[in-house]
Amino acid sequence: MSDPDTVGARASTNGHSNGDANGSGSGPVASSATDSARSFPLPLVDEGHKLAGAGLSTAAGLAGKLAGRFQRRLRADFDDRDPDYIREQLPMQWLLASLYFRGEVRGLSNVPENGPVLLVGNHSGGNVTPDTIIFSLAFQTYFGVERRFHQLAHNLVMAMPQTQLLQLRRHGTVAASHRHAEQALREGAALLVYPGGDWEVHRPSWESDRIDFAGRKGFIKLALNADVPIVPVVAIGGQETALFLSRGAWLAKAIGLDRFRLKVLPISLAVPWGLNIGDFAAHIPLPAKITIEALPAIDLREQFGPEPDLDEVYEYVTSAMQDSLHALAAERRYPVIG
Amino acid sequence: MRINESTVIAAPAELVWEHILEPDNYLHFMSGVTRWDVDGEVRSGLGARYRMLLRVGSAEIGGLIEVVEEIPERDLAWTSVTGIDQRGRWRLRPRREGVTDVEFRFSYGVAGAGLGGWLAEHVAAPTVSSRIRESLTGLKQLVEQERRRRDSEPHSVTRA
């Protein structure tokens, strides 16, 4: 799950967000590779074609196909959401949430009964985020699977094989981008976003009780543009599902991942890997107790006037969430046990 | 999964019926019920619809239900319209003068959920069963308290 602001920018850079990107920055590839490759200017594809050898051309074609597959995974088809499938999955989700994570969700009555709403959460748990499973279950049993509910996920998550296995698209999960977020709200859906994205989700375990959106304000612009209320959703426990040691921002920079807009390369101790670098293959989360609270809805224009100041709204939302997170943290006596 | 629980209430069926028909009472006597809102024009009886939620484990589960059977002072049954599949039934049977046998039947599940659904139904059963027993106790207290209040009314009027 991720932030519509930052990931949206990433998606545009990669050319997946619209057809205009097809012709720009990928000229050499366009002559022989697939359409998918044309619209996806990976450096690997570019370099392969510069050599123009037959073998490399095949490799470029394969890379193009892979890129195309990757790109398709990032394209949102809101019709992929399948209420009947979600309904059939609720019992398994309920078992997982109730028995394994002892999940508790409060304050759903704060979510407006009808219409589009932007649910803004803090993000925890690395690449396996129990908060999302538990909140989705609670939301869909409370309001019914008939109510449109989508979640934005990081491009990397949407591209992972596990995502296909878990059929996240049928659950209403779409790759994070402004375009997808706006479309979901325009179509009247409740939309769950995590502005802190990969930065917050990989924070060290000892910062579990800290809201860290890294100054990202895209969610505020989104709510204003779509004229929808914001409901902050605060969760605790996810950062105790493994021992998260570091975001590894220095490591990502040292090996040049930042050139691919990967700002973090998280380091953790997690089951079953032990030392887990990157968390690309995910991990088995410890059965930490997860508590989630939805706070009262915020109508930005009603509360901050017709032209709200983004910094003021950001400060208000994050402070309210921080206060709630501190209160939830104070309820916990032991790590994992809760 | 179907769960049956029953109790004996020291009040006439008419009074018990009055209590189970009134939607506002459900939040008072139904254990674990967090919502019981009238949905639509019909407030009670046949055709009435309610949005109800019952807290079980980590979720509030329920949906829109509709009363589909009403035999005054004997049977009141509902079925789900949305949400998990559920059917509920109150059965009132007079035991003797001023005493009523009250049975509550509740069945629930998710069609098509397979093994996960079967497992969840059985794991949830003790909680649901306990909630229903508590609800019957709550109803018994509520109705018997009301019966005592009504029984004492003529004396109060006489004293006044």
The runs of H, that is alpha helices, within chain A are 4-13, 27-30, 35-38, 43-51, 54-74, 83-95, 130-143, 155-159, 161-165, 178-186, 197-201, 218-226, 249-254, 300-304, 310-331
The whole-angstrom separation of Cα A259 and Cα A270 is 27
pTM: 0.84
Question: Residue A96 carries which DSSP code?
Answer: I
| pLDDT confidence band for A61 (50 / 70 / 90) | confident
Q: List pLDDT tens digits, range B23-62.
A: 999 999 999 999 999 999 999 999 999 999 999 999 999 9
Q: Is A97 on the interface with B (CB under 8 A)?
A: yes
| Mean pLDDT (whole number) for A50-70 | 66
B58 vs A contacts (CB less than 8 Å): 94, 97-98, 101-105, 134, 137-138
- At B31 the pLDDT is 97
Helix H or strand E encompassing B144: helix B114-159
| Mean pLDDT (whole number) for A94-104 | 97
Q: Which of A11-25, A223-237, B40-54, B125-139 has the lowest mean pLDDT?
A: A11-25
**How many residues are there in chain B?**
160
- Answer with the residue of higher pLDDT: A54 or A245: A245
Q: Minimal Cα–Cα distance from B116 to chain A, Å? A: 5
Using a pLDDT cut of 70, give the percent of chain B over it.
96
| Mean pLDDT (whole number) for A128-157 | 94
Q: Which of A48-57, B29-38, B74-83, B139-148 has the lowest mean pLDDT?
A: A48-57
User: b vs e for A159-182, b when ≥16 Cβ sit within 10 Å of the residue's Cβ?
Assistant: bbeebeeeebbebbbbbbbbbbbb
Cis upstream peptide for A272 (omega within 30°): yes
SS3 state of residue A1: coil
Mutation target vs B (from A90, A93, A110; most B CBs, 10 A cutoff): A90
- At A281 the pLDDT is 87
**Residue A6 carries which side chain, given as an amino acid letter?**
T
Per the CB < 8 A criterion, the answer to whether B83 and A86 are in contact is no
- At A263 the pLDDT is 85
| pLDDT confidence band for B155 (50 / 70 / 90) | low
Q: Do B57 and A88 touch (CB under 8 A)?
A: no
- Residue B115, pLDDT above cutoff 60: yes
| pLDDT confidence band for A199 (50 / 70 / 90) | very high
| Mean pLDDT (whole number) for A100-121 | 97
Strands A190-193 and B2-9: unpaired
| Mean pLDDT (whole number) for B75-89 | 96
Q: Do A91 and B120 touch (CB under 8 A)?
A: yes
Per the CB < 8 A criterion, the answer to whether A230 and A308 are in contact is no
Which residue from B minimizes the CA distance to A89?
Answer: B113
**Residue A30 carries which side chain, given as an amino acid letter?**
A
A94 vs B contacts (CB less than 8 Å): 56-59, 61, 120, 124
- At A4 the pLDDT is 52
Per the CB < 8 A criterion, the answer to whether A32 and A56 are in contact is no
Q: Do B57 and A99 touch (CB under 8 A)?
A: yes
Q: Is A104 on the interface with B (CB under 8 A)?
A: yes
| pLDDT confidence band for A69 (50 / 70 / 90) | low
Q: Tell which residue, A179, A180, A186, has the closest CA to residue A226.
A: A186
| Mean pLDDT (whole number) for A114-141 | 96
The whole-angstrom separation of Cα A338 and Cα B65 is 36
Q: Which of A40-54, A87-101, A114-128, B146-160 has the lowest mean pLDDT?
A: A40-54
- At A50 the pLDDT is 62
Q: Minimal Cα–Cα distance from A290 to chain B, Å? A: 10
Give the ipTM of the model, two decimals please.
0.90
Using CB atoms, pick whichever of B82, B84, B117 lies closest to residue A146.
B82
Can you name the residues that pair with B107 across neighbouring β-strands? B2, B87
The whole-angstrom separation of Cα A269 and Cα A246 is 10
- At A52 the pLDDT is 55
- Residue A159, pLDDT above cutoff 70: yes
